[in-house]
Amino acid sequence: MGDTEAPEQPAEPSGEDPVAGFVGCDETIERLYTYLDGELTEQRRVEITRHLDLCGPCVDAYGFEAELRKVVASRCKDHVPDDLITRVASALEKEHLRQNN
């Protein structure tokens, strides 16, 4: 959408449930992380996708978050030493056994 204004979003009726199938900017931004993680219901995912298709500011926020995740994932690849993994696994197993006795 570039520099043009985002299309007007339908107003929610006051005192009533939101319009069925309509997701506003606040909810879209609030659910961006779960959307990116693929953790939404199919219906909610479709609603958020529909909103992103129509709303420039929200799609910009989505693009930023998606790109940020890629950068973080590509640069944050610390190697965990094998002996640390073994010690943590052993400690977890001991704690599990302690709690079950």
pLDDT tier at 84, thresholds 50, 70, 90: very high
Helix axes 42-54, 56-75, angle to 10 degrees: 110
Query: What single letter denotes the amino acid at residue 91?
Result: A
Q: Within the chain, what is the greatest distance between any pair of CA atoms?
A: 65
The HSE-up count of residue 95 (CA atoms within 13 Å, CB side) is: 6
* Residue extents of the structural domains in the chain: 25-100
Contact in structure between 48 and 28 (CB atoms under 8 Å): yes
Q: For the CA atoms of 35, 39, 42, 45, what is the dihedral angle to 10 degrees?
A: -10
For range 80-99, the mean pLDDT: 91
Assigned CATH for 25-100: 1.10.10
Contact in structure between 9 and 25 (CB atoms under 8 Å): yes
Contact in structure between 69 and 38 (CB atoms under 8 Å): no
- The share of the chain scoring above pLDDT 70, in percent, equals 79
Q: Model confidence over 7-51: pLDDT tens digits? A: 444 433 333 344 556 889 999 999 999 999 999 999 999 999 999
